[in-house]
A = this chain, B = another copy of it.
């Protein structure tokens, strides 16, 4: 397979050269060490103007309020429904996200997955004029396919809810549930009418959101292997990118730079829960990460929505 055939949506240049060099060199690495971890929002699909998970939660909230107006009395949810930006900022996204997650308390993971897939089956992106499921980045799908062709284990390591991403990870990226490491909701065991155990969603997290240092310890706990390739776009990915590789083998840390206001968005990635002690672009320059410029490096940003497998593994 020629280099161009592996990554057709990547423009020639230093970034694509770094990828193809890695793909060539990694064939000397033992297969069990071929692990790649990708952030999701802003790395594998569009996260602007709002996170897709927030759109999903908001849709669920509006439908719930239509049935039970009392739900709207909770301050976190009232601020959101009013679009009251100042109050939303004062409360903070993590607390609001937990209030929204509470709307699904008591569902089984399977029931929650159906809710997610039903929403995404009909959702369109608010500005990009395409189905939300086709706001995945075509060049990243190609990179994942190339890695998988080299027997890589490809995981998603996201600040989003684990179950939310699991509901779509196989269809969008070919990534099975066990390779999705996200912010974990607590599960509670109940007994059904027949006495059989059932798992149901709680309203609280296990630990902290999966951002920053937590991404490292959660990769170790859940996946058990350190990645030699990691990709991210925000300060929440910093530690994961710093941890990538290690030792003498080839490794690659990729930082997606959203610099294309024309075709996508132009902004600097920042984790909502972490602040930004050092701008992530400066960390990348200091540590020699490979920066992926959407404007410069990607010939195509999104898949053709009319292609039959536009929302499936490249």
Contact = CB atoms under 8 A, between A and B. Distances in A.
A187 B220 contact: yes
Contacts of A184: 221
A86 interface: no
A216 interface: yes
Nearest to A189: B213
Contacts of A196: 242-243, 246
Contact of A224 (B166, B216, B217, B243): B166
Contacts of A32: 170, 176
Contact of A225 (B162, B178, B246): B178
Interface of A is mostly: helix
B177 A223 contact: yes
Contact of A187 (B166, B221, B242): B221
Contacts of A180: 224
A250 interface: no
Contact of A216 (B163, B199, B222): B199
A206 interface: yes
Interface in A160-186: 162-163, 166, 170, 176-180, 184
A170 to B, nearest CB: 6
A279 interface: no
A153 interface: yes
Contacts of A153: 176, 178
Given A177-B223, A180-B224, A184-B221, A197 B242 contact: yes
16 contacts: A32-B176, A109-B220, A163-B224, A166-B224, A177-B223, A177-B224, A177-B225, A178-B223, A178-B224, A178-B225, A187-B217, A187-B220, A189-B239, A197-B213, A197-B216, A199-B220
